[in-house]
Structure 1
Amino acid sequence: MADKSEPREQNTTDGGNGRPSHESDLKVVEVHQVEGIDPTHAAIMATNKPNQWGKGYIRLYMLAACIFLNSTMNGFDASLLGSINALPNYTSYYNLPKKGATSTGIVFAIYQVGQMVASFFIWIADWKGRKVLIFIGAVGVCIATVITATAKTLPIFIGGRFLLSYFATLAHMGAVLYLVEMAPTRYRGTLAGLYNTFYYFGSILATSAVYGAHLHLSHRGNDDWRIPLWLQMVCPGIVASIVLFFPESPRWLVAKDRHEEARAVIARYHANDDADHPLVTLEMKEMITSLQYEGMTTWKDFFNYKSLVKTRGRRYRLMLNVTFAWFGQFSGNNIVSYYLPTLLANVGITDTNMKLLLNIIYALDGWIFATIGTRFHDVIGRRKMFMISTMGMAIALSITAGTAADFVNTGSKTSSSASIAFIYIFGGIFAFAFTSMQPIYPTEVMTNDMRAKGAQSYKLISGASGFLNTFVGPIALQNIGYWFYVFFVFWDIFEFIFIYFFYVETKGVSLEELEVIFESKNPRKASTAVKKVKQRTFVNAEGNIETETKEVV
């Protein structure tokens, strides 16, 4: 990305008349060095960075905050089902067994089935736009909530959960595409990454609702689990009522030849209404060039998957998309989030209220660490964060397994407490690096014409992984207990090795600039190569401000 040409000599006076050039101090900036790319974004942000607290950015943050409510849907469901599964009124109403997977497992796992089916309809985002897909999904979730909250038989309840998952996935993936494409390059990891942290906000809402309802309404038949089910429509209801008033993604607008609208969106939300800012010109140029070459997927060619594998670089992108989808669901995290009450029972916590309270604390723990980690993705970088997290999870799970084994064999209360503590530590470590990037990283590594199909492959793989976890999980917990943790210890170590050798760093690189990285001989090395450059801003002989960039020798 650095300009390799030597800067021309500059006089310290203007045309010999003695007027000073007003040179600024030299400053050294680190930028990602990729063969064939000039430091466009890095140079602009180093010398002419828009105010991130300007009016345009404040508007962007407000839009993003509303979109974040989509993320509560998945978190609400995971913790809601995990919590009401501990309620005697719920299990007795549907005659659910306390152990085994035949009934309880399918109630959980049908959510992943709905995700996988919905993945085949994400092309609507490229056809009608990102915000239309969000709207359809949010309205559908409200309808599905009515079905589940009023279901009198288990098959209807399961069918309602399928529809809820189907529409929640449409809203969720529309939101991810929208945020990744709306967020400025410099803040993409932070702004878009914050989205998935609201998974835990949904978890807190769900677990708190179930805890309060059980505490005060358990004597009123089924109100302690019916009322929390009704609350599942609050956040999607808010989103559905306002999302159609939002601006559309500039990349989608460019793809539809609505260039002036796209420029206006970029100027307002990336440059605080400064239409002449160099960032606006740069981003428009990159998008037009990229979309003219790649195009945007239509419903007619959505199921033509050649675009995902037609070059080596695209196959590498797909590999990252697929593996991260699996890692994000199969690192031990799904077992903890869905079956925390069962895990607590395995180490001696049997009181229902205590299980529900600890569920709330687990969700709060995850939200705090996920929110902190979101910012670090734009500071430390995605790849390093993933490696720190996978190794930390392996260590936490190994201690959890050891202390759980000691409790089972000796009944030690100290071991029981330590096991619970490290379950929470594991959750915090996972949330710190993975939660915010789960939908973001698989999306940002895709080109514009691959992004919707990439979202489909991400949801298919993550759904399959989640289904395996949630359906097989109770069987494994029943039959092998703490040895289930040991399996994930070794799996997380494998993830660490894989990420180290193959994962590309996307921090600080625009979506269009990633093309050169993925077409290089070794994308991982190309993405992590960093060089220092000197940048100088000065007034030239004509009185115009210029910026020069030079590699530091």
Structure 2
Amino acid sequence: MTAHGASDTANPEHGRRHFGAKLVFTIVFICFGSSSFGFSNAVIGSTLGQPSFMSTMGLDTATNASSLISAILSMFYAGGFFGAFCHALLADRYGRKVSASVAASIMIIAAAICTGSNNIGVYIAFRFFCGWASYQFICTIPTWVTEITPPSHRGVLGNIIAVNIGLGYVIASFSGIGFYFVKGDDQWRGVTGLQILFPGLLLAAIYWLPESPRYLIAKDRHEEALAILKTLHASTSQADHFAEMEFFQIRKQIEWDNAHKMTYLEIFKHPTMRKRALITISLTWCMVGSGVLVINNYGTAIYSALGFNELDTLLFLAGWVCIVLLAPFVCMTFVDRVSRTWLLASGFFLCMCTLIVEAALQKNFLGTNNTSALSAAVAMTYLYVFFYVLCLDGPMFFYIGEIWPSHVRVQGFAIGISAMCISNLVWTAAAPVAFANIGWKYYIFFILQAAIGGVATILYSPNTLGKPLEEIAALFGDTAEVVVFQAELEESRFENGVEGKEFPEGVEHVETAVGVGKEN
């Protein structure tokens, strides 16, 4: 039987639940890093809605206020670009835990200085480092989570990333409303200072969190890796067997991977790696290019333009981010039952439809007293973010983790998240001038990118649903690079009567049965 054929064979382990409460709680604590990302992204929307911030920074009287606001937002994403590559430097060399710890430390220091700043220059400078930490988090956390989750439930567990991003958004927005009612010139400092909450919690827990087994195996720390797999993937009488089989497959694959490490230039020269890179770039660019952070960051300006007052705009933003928290729970009910390709493509097309309606409403009713139409415009922003988070936000992060092999996974995330930062930088920096000069027509750019993202996903992105990470290469035509398939291990286990034995100590009969080390 060929390796590729084995990948399609019914796997007795597929669909079984190989995790318990410990893995869920572990992922929740790891994802405090994604909560920090969400909070730091959302807090600027609330901060710009605080009159005290505008007056303290002189933005209420400055003739170049729009440019300064654009700089605040742009420097955050510029920092994110560097954070993505900092992750790439640290995560493979020192581990996922070290990369997350560095990001948390940077966030705490930068947030503290932003909170105490009294001039716009200092605030802008350290928003750069907040962005650095945020995007280092959003590279490290999905990598880490993807590598500790079993393939059959990777979508459900990976969506905890999106839930925690939503949690960060919700706390930032409702804190903004709470501090809006605080009197004095420092009301904005409270919500800004809360940026230290989630990185502080992550740092407090980091010692007890498990390192990625794939990182440990790559560093020849096999006993630690196997112990972690047995602990995290335990829930049935066959738990140890599944962890041992998983360990065997990962170890054999990483032995091959370690001999084939690549630079960024080599990634773009290698045909299937280049395809992964282009899929990753198009996915992250088009997601951001559909306008999600423009709507978040300029939500106060958008809702004000629709005729609502300061408090109303803050309340609308809070309602908007509540959907960011709730939609991932809906996604969890079906994410591991539907094609990854069609899930992502559907998200792009549904976002495109809501943006078309939003643009039409703003074209025809902006500046009028038609409250029904203006309310519908607000509703479209809500519907947009629901579809975005439901189909794109969480799935995007674990999908990128799935399509990249272990030896270049951190580089793959760096490529994708750096593209996301550049896209954010382009569309967010242009937004103040664009909204002032072309208004609703700016949405046309978002509509086009959502359409391109949907079509590109259908044409080029393979469905990774339920596949072990070590077998994804076969979907890109690299069957020879898959050392052993999990289904073959299952078949050989039953054919050779090895049930109950541990693969790491006695694998010779398995290697003979499945042809490990032979040409596929």
TM-score, structure 2 length as denominator?
Answer: 0.87
Pick from 98, 102, 108: which aligns with 1:132?
98
The alignment status of 1:237 with 2:200, answered yes or no, reads yes
* Preserved CA contact (<8 Å) 2:104 2:199: yes
CA contact (8 A) 1:177 1:443 kept: yes
Of the three residues 288, 292, 296, the one matched with 1:337 is: 296
Cα separation, 1, equivalents of 2:101 and 2:329: 26
- Structure 1 match to 2:281: 322
1:268 is matched with 231
Pairing partner for 1:280 from 231, 235, 243 = 243
- 1:178 and 1:542 mapped to 2: Cα distance? 35
Q: Contact (CA 8 Å) 2:286, 2:452: kept in 1 or not?
A: no
Matches within 5 A, 1:327-476: 327-349=286-308, 351-408=309-366, 410-476=368-434
1:83-115, Cα deviation, whole Å (9 max, x unpaired):
121222111211125886421001011111111
How far apart are 1:60 and its partner, in Å?
0.8
Q: What is the CA–CA distance in structure 2 between the aligned matches of 1:324 and 1:41, rounded to whole Å?
A: 31
**Deviation (angstroms), 1:401:** 1.3
Counting only pairs closer than 5 Å after superposition, residues 67-106 of structure 1 correspond to structure 2 as 67-96=30-59, 97=62, 101-106=66-71
SS of equivalent to 2:42: helix
Q: What is the match of residue 80 of structure 2?
A: 115
Pair 1:425–1:38, CA change in 2 (3 A): closer
Within the candidate set 518, 524, 527, 2:476 is matched to: 518
Q: Which residue pairs with 1:62 in the alignment?
A: 25
C-alpha spacing 1:263/1:396, structure 2 compared with 1 (3 Å): same
Structure 2 equivalent of residue 483 of structure 1: 441
Asked if structure 2 preserves the Cα contact closer than 8 Å seen for 1:296 and 1:448, the reply is no
For residues 447-486 of structure 1, what are the alpha-carbon distances to aligned partners after superposition, in whole Å with 9 as ceiling and x for unaligned?
A: 1111111121112111100111211111111111111123
Does 2:123 match 1:157?
yes
- Distance in structure 1 (CA, Å) of the matches to 2:9 and 2:201: 39
Letter in 1 for 2:281: V
Q: Which moved more, 1:313-322 or 1:485-494?
A: 485-494
The structure with more strand, counted as a fraction of residues: 1
Flag the 1:220–1:100 CA change in 2: closer, same or farther, 3 A. closer
C-alpha separation in 2, matches of 1:541 and 1:111: 57
8 Å Cα contact 1:101/1:472 also seen in 2:
no
Distance of aligned partners of 1:363 and 1:269 in 2 relative to their CA distance in 1, 3 Å threshold: same
Give the match for residue 504 of structure 2: none
Q: Output aligned runs, 1:12-91, within 5 Å.
A: 35-39=4-8, 42-45=11-14, 49-50=16-17, 52=19, 57-91=20-54
CA deviation string 1:102-155 (max 9, x = no partner): 210010111111111122222211111111111121122111111000011111
Residue 182 (str. 1) matches residue 148 (str. 2): yes
Q: CA deviation at 1:440?
A: 2.1
| Structure number having the greater helix percentage | 2
Instruction: Determine helix, strand or coil for the equivalent of 2:159.
Output: helix
Local SS of the residue matching 1:152: coil
Q: Kindly provide the CA deviation profile for residues 248-267 of structure 1, in whole angstroms up to 9, marking residues without a partner as x.
A: 11101110111121111111
Deviations 1:222-243 (A, max 9, x none): 2x20111111101110110111
Residue 495 of structure 1 pairs with residue 464 of structure 2: no
Residues of 2 paired with 1:451 and 1:243: CA distance?
A: 22
d(CA) in 1 for partners of 2:378 and 2:198? 31
- Following superposition, the deviation at residue 296 of structure 1 comes to 8.4
Separation in 2 of the partners of 1:173 and 1:117? 11
1:407–1:267 distance in 2 versus 1, CA, 3 Å: same
**Is the Cα contact below 8 Å between 1:44 and 1:278 reproduced in 2?**
no
The CA RMSD over aligned residues, in Å, is 2.7
Whole-Å separation in 2 of the counterparts to 1:294 and 1:447: 8
After TM superposition, give the deviation of residue 493 of structure 1 in Å: 1.9
Unaligned residue ranges in structure 2 (runs of 5+):
480-489, 501-520
One-letter identity of the residue aligned with 1:214: Y
Cα distance in structure 2, aligned partners of 1:348 and 1:359? 15
Determine helix, strand or coil for the equivalent of 2:337.
coil
Query: Which amino acid letter does the alignment assign opposite residue 171 of structure 2?
Result: L
Q: Which amino acid is 1:137 matched to?
A: A
The structure-2 alpha-carbon separation of the partners of 1:184 and 1:98, relative to structure 1 and needing over 3 Å to count, comes to: farther
| Equivalence for 2:167 | 201
Q: Displacement of 1:434 after TM fit?
A: 1.0
Spell out, residue by residue over 1:203-247, the C-alpha distance to the aligned partner (whole angstroms, 9 max, x if none): 1111111111112x1x3222x201111111011101101112222
Q: Is the 8 A contact 2:47 2:192 kept in 1?
A: no
Checking the alignment, whether the CA contact within 8 Å between 1:73 and 1:168 is kept in structure 2 is yes
Give the Cα–Cα distance (whole angstroms) in 1 for the partners of residues 433 and 498 of structure 2. Answer: 75
2:518 aligned partner: none
The secondary structure found in structure 2 opposite 1:512 is helix
Which amino acid counterpart does residue 172 of structure 1 have in structure 2? I
Question: Is contact 1:209–1:228 with CA below 8 Å preserved after alignment?
Answer: yes
Give me the whole-angstrom Cα distance separating, in 1, the residues matched to 2:38 and 2:495.
56
**Which runs of 5 or more residues in structure 1 are unaligned?**
5-33, 522-534, 546-553
Mapped to 2, the partners of 1:104 and 1:353 lie a distance apart of 20
Q: Is the 8 A contact 1:197 1:435 kept in 2?
A: no
Q: Which moved more, 1:159-168 or 1:306-315?
A: 306-315
In 1, the alpha carbon distance for the partners of 2:259 and 2:155 equals 24
Could you tell me how far apart the structure 1 residues matched to 2:329 and 2:405 are? 27
Q: 1:542 to 1:363 in 2, by over 3 A?
A: closer
283 and 41 in structure 1: CA distance in 2 versus 1, 3 angstrom threshold: farther
Secondary structure of 1:440's counterpart equals helix
Aligned in 2, Cα 1:358/1:516: closer, same or farther, shift over 3 Å? same
Distance 1:306 1:86 in 2: 44
Could you tell me which residue of structure 2 aligns to residue 173 of structure 1?
139
The structure whose Rg is larger is: 1
Indicate conservation of the 8 Å contact 1:126/1:296, yes or no. no
Structure 2 residue identity aligned to 1:43: P
Maintained 8 Å contact 2:27/2:160: no
Q: Is the 8 A contact 2:304 2:310 kept in 1?
A: no
State the match for 2:190 in structure 1: 227
What amino acid is the match of 1:244? Y
Which one-letter code corresponds to 1:107 in the other structure? I
Change (3 A) 1:59 1:480: same
Please report how far the alpha carbon of residue 490 of structure 1 lies from its aligned counterpart in structure 2 after TM superposition.
2.8
Alpha-carbon distance in 2 for matches of 1:239, 1:428: 28
Q: Which amino acid aligns with 1:480?
A: I
CA contact (8 A) 1:99 1:474 kept: no
Corresponding residue to 1:210 among 170, 176, 195: 176
Contact 2:307 2:367 in 1 (8 A): no
Structure 1 partner of 2:463: 505
1:169 positional shift? 2.6
Q: Quick one: which amino acid aligns to residue 151 of structure 2?
A: T
Question: Deviations for 1:358-384, whole angstroms, at most 9, x for unmatched residues?
Answer: 111000012211331244221113211
For the 8 Å contact 2:31–2:161, the answer to whether it is kept is: yes
